[in-house]
Every structure is written in structure tokens, then in C-alpha cells.
Chains A and B, each alone.
Chain A
Amino acid sequence: MVELKAQTPCAGLLPMTIGSVTVVEADLGVLTSLSPVGDGKDFAAALKAAHGLGAPKPGRATGRDGQRCLWFARSEVLLAGPVPDKTLEAHAAVVDQSDGWACVTLSGAGAVDVLARLVPVDFRESIFKRGHTARTLVQHMSASITRTGADTFLILVFRSMAGTLVHELKVAMEAVASRG
């Protein structure tokens, strides 16, 4: 019998600390793409009833560690954590993407400076607050970036890009650290 062992997307690559910034792999649980049908009102009510989560508006995330809903694209949100309740299926296209994303948490003083070297979005706290999220690019990689704390960001890229993401973060973190 062959015994297959599941590996996380960033296995062997993380954690990594350089200077005051740390990257760790984030286990978000089940990841589900939800694309509401119609005007989304019934979906929002169903999401609230089933998981106690608000349906996020563009650029926003709801919930907390272990149970989040990220705005994820035009007419699409990502449920991160719980197994999606069956009742959602009447109001949205429900697609399991659990194995599709590499998820990391970037944290520490200087995390914003690291992102500033990689992403064409202003992540300063006065502009991009806790609970704000963006679909954007990390260099050439499509990404989802959410501020979950004062110096903490959740970054998702396609699983196949895990190694590239860690490499890009490493280069930027070294550059930020070298400036002292």
C-alpha cells in the first residue's frame, strides 16, 4: 500500500523571519468560492443565518480567525474556515477551492514596507484598514490581500505560485531589513 501524505502548499518553505517581519503559512480551513445569484440579498441572509457572517462588500472582509468571508472578485466572495452550509447552494454557486490557494500571514513592524515593494496598492493603515481586502498583484502574481491586524496581512496566491510568493517576500524582506 502506498501511503500518501498531504503536504501544505508552503511545506518546507515557511516559516521565515527576516528583520522584524515574519511569514508563516496560514491554515484557513475549508476555502469555498461563493458566487451569489440575483441581487445577492437572499445570499447575504443565508450566509448570516448559516455561518453568522456578513456578506462583504467590495474591498471588505468579515469575520475573524477561523471563520472569515473575503470579498474575492466581482460577484464572488471566499468563505474561509467552515464547511459551507447546504442552504447556501440555493443562493450562490458553491465551489470548493481548498487545495487551490497558498495562504500565508505576513506580520511585524515593516510588513507594510515589504508589501510596498511588491504590490501596486497603498497599504498604509490610514488608507487600508483592518478588514479591508484587495484583489491585486504581488509582482506578476494574482493575489488576495487582507489586513487582519495593525501589522498583519493575509496573502493568498494560486497554490502553484507558493514558491514564487515566498521568494518574492524573501527578497523584499531582506531589502527592508537592510535599511535598518
Chain B
Amino acid sequence: MRIECPICGSRERREFYYQGADGMIARPDPDAGGEVWHAYLHLRDNPAGETRDLWYHEGGCGAWIVVTRNTVTHEVLGTRLASDAREAAS
């Protein structure tokens, strides 16, 4: 499996650390309430198909990356810097 780092280019999976769902980027307000924080911390979708995760290019440039991939076909569909994804969302 290879992942396209937006900074380093196509690199082997062993250079990356997997963190989990990309929802961690959208941190709620401190006073958003218990339900919202519960969902942010504990509730995850488990899709058969397209999903977005956070990966860390630990053995490379040190960037956090949002990877869009398909859990059924294992195809990596796209990558972008997590900082760009967060700016686009805000």
C-alpha cells in the first residue's frame, strides 16, 4: 500500500502512522455540551466504502494527512494536508 503525501510524494505505508477517523479535526467548542463531546470522542461510523482517516507521515516530513480511501477495495482515492482540510472546513 502506498500513500501520496502532499509534501513528499508517493511513499510506502510503513512510513505512516494511522490515527483514525478524520472527524478529530472538527473539535467542538468547549461548551458544546455533553452529547456533542460524547459523539466527538466516542462515536465512529464504520463504512463499507469511502472513508476519511488521519495519517501521520512519521517516517517522513511529519505532516498530518487526511486520506480518502475505500475500505472495500483498499483503493486510496486522495490525500490532502490536515491543515488545509481544517481551513477549508472553518
Contacts and interface: CB of A to CB of B under 8 A. Distances in A.
B19 to A, nearest CB: 16
B8 A59 contact: yes
Contact of A142 (B7, B9, B59, B63): B59
B: interface residue count bin: 10 to 19
B11 interface: yes
B63 A120 contact: no
Interface residues of A, number: 12
A120 B14 contact: yes
Contacts of A61: none
Contacts of B63: 74
Q: For A74, A76, A121, which residue has the most chain B Cβ atoms within 10 angstroms?
A: A74
B11 A58 contact: no
Nearest to B7: A58
Interface stretch (A24-32, A79-87, A131-139): A131-139
B30 interface: no
Count chain B CB atoms within 10 A of each CB in A59, A136, A142 and give the residue with the most: A136
B61 interface: yes
A171 interface: no
B9 A59 contact: yes
Contacts of A135: 8, 59-62
A73 interface: yes
B15 interface: yes
Nearest to B14: A120
B28 to A, nearest CB: 27
B75 interface: no
Contacts of A137: 14-15, 59
Interface of A: 58-59, 73-74, 76, 120-121, 134-137, 142
Given A59-B8, A137-B59, A142-B59, 10 more contacts: A58-B7, A58-B61, A73-B61, A73-B62, A76-B62, A120-B12, A120-B14, A135-B59, A136-B59, A137-B14
